[in-house]
Amino acid sequence: MKNPASSPDRDSGSPAATPEGDGNAMFIIDAHTHEPPLKSPRLGALPLDDERRMEAACEVSLAAMDAIGIDMALLLARTEWAEFAAAAHPARFASNIRLDPADPDIEELVGTARNRQGVVGLQAHLSWPPSGENIQLLRAGGFEAMFAAAEKHQLPVSAIVSGDLPEIAPIAEAHPDLILVIPHFGLKQPPLREPDVPPFAQLDQLLDLARYPNVFVKCSGIPTLSATGFPYPDVWPHILKVIGTFGLGRVMWASDYTRVSQLMSYEHALAYLRDTTELSTAEKTQLLGGTAARVFGLPSGCQEVERDTTPDDGPAR
């Protein structure tokens, strides 16, 4: 089923004009999104693998993306839907899939992951659930085979490690050619986690990881930690500190929609960065799509931009 909200150019992956209407083509990639809930009781009652339900979820996502000028989304969602979405709309969706690190065939599963529709990386839930079983599994070496295979096959890993940032350093050291992408600045965020007090108290733990060139950062869900509301001016000192430490070539924007939908609109999740005067147009283009494109091998509409005082970029595939 074709998304009725997409023009032929948009569905083929052509960059869209920015919502400001200035005519500049900024290819925007949302590097961390989830499957949207369906409001229709009839569709919501269908089995999760029903194609009508999965296409309806695609159409909801595409309509939201088109409304605010997002060209492509990286899905961190259940694998069945992510693969369906990427097959139905390959110019608009790609995914990081979640594998069981304890699977006896984990090396083969990682090695063949790129053969699956739209897969450009993996996700590792290290600090989720907050009850701690996956952190204990990590410390016991339970993720080692998956990380080694991902390094071998050059698959980036989005590592959910909120509240447990020191766990990343040993992984980065042991696997220097494995790209590790840390969502949410590695901080606990509402509505699923109670944030620290103050909410950026652990940011220095993230900044310390900049010494590893294979560690990248997702600027995702950051407005959930704001005390001021849109356009969230109080988060900017922290964002600029991350950009200044890692460099724009290692920081990418993501909305983390729909997890954050109780706290901000999709438009606001993008607009606070897209419309800011804190960054130049070239810097926004890098942050809003260029870095994600380079790390995950997605389309891009920009040349890489760096501020002069930042460290060199790490490896990317």
CATH code: domain 8-296 is 3.20.20.140
| Percent of all residues in the chain with a pLDDT value above 70, rounded to a whole number | 87
pLDDT at 270: 97
Residue 20 has pLDDT above 70, yes or no: no
Q: Domain locations in the chain? A: 8-296
Residue 193's pLDDT band (boundaries 50, 70, 90)?
Answer: confident
Q: Which of 197, 136, 123, 142 is nearest to 164 (CA)?
A: 136
Q: What is the dihedral of CA 126, 44, 59, 64, to 10 degrees?
A: -60
Whole-number average pLDDT of the chain: 88
Report the DSSP pairing between strands 215-220 and 72-75. unpaired
pLDDT at 262: 84
Taking only the tens place, the pLDDT of each residue in 24-48 is 579 999 999 988 988 888 888 889 8
pLDDT at 259: 85
User: Average pLDDT of 103-122?
Assistant: 96
Q: Which of 115, 213, 114 is nearest to 155 (CA)?
A: 114
Report the DSSP pairing between strands 180-182 and 72-75. unpaired
Taking only the tens place, the pLDDT of each residue in 52-107 is 999 999 999 999 999 999 999 999 998 899 999 999 999 999 999 999 999 999 99
Q: Which of 194, 145, 138 is nearest to 168 (CA)?
A: 138
What is the pTM for the complete model shown?
0.87
Q: What is the secondary structure of 52-81 as a DSSP string?
A: HHHHHHHHHHHHHHHHHT--EEEE-S-HHH
pLDDT at 301: 55
Taking only the tens place, the pLDDT of each residue in 290-313 is 999 999 999 875 555 555 444 444
Taking only the tens place, the pLDDT of each residue in 168-177 is 999 999 999 9
Taking only the tens place, the pLDDT of each residue in 155-171 is 999 999 999 999 999 99
pLDDT at 182: 98
What whole-number distance in Å separates Cα of residue 88 and Cα of residue 168?
Answer: 35
Name the E strands within the chain. 29-33, 72-75, 93-98, 119-125, 157-160, 180-182, 215-220, 251-254
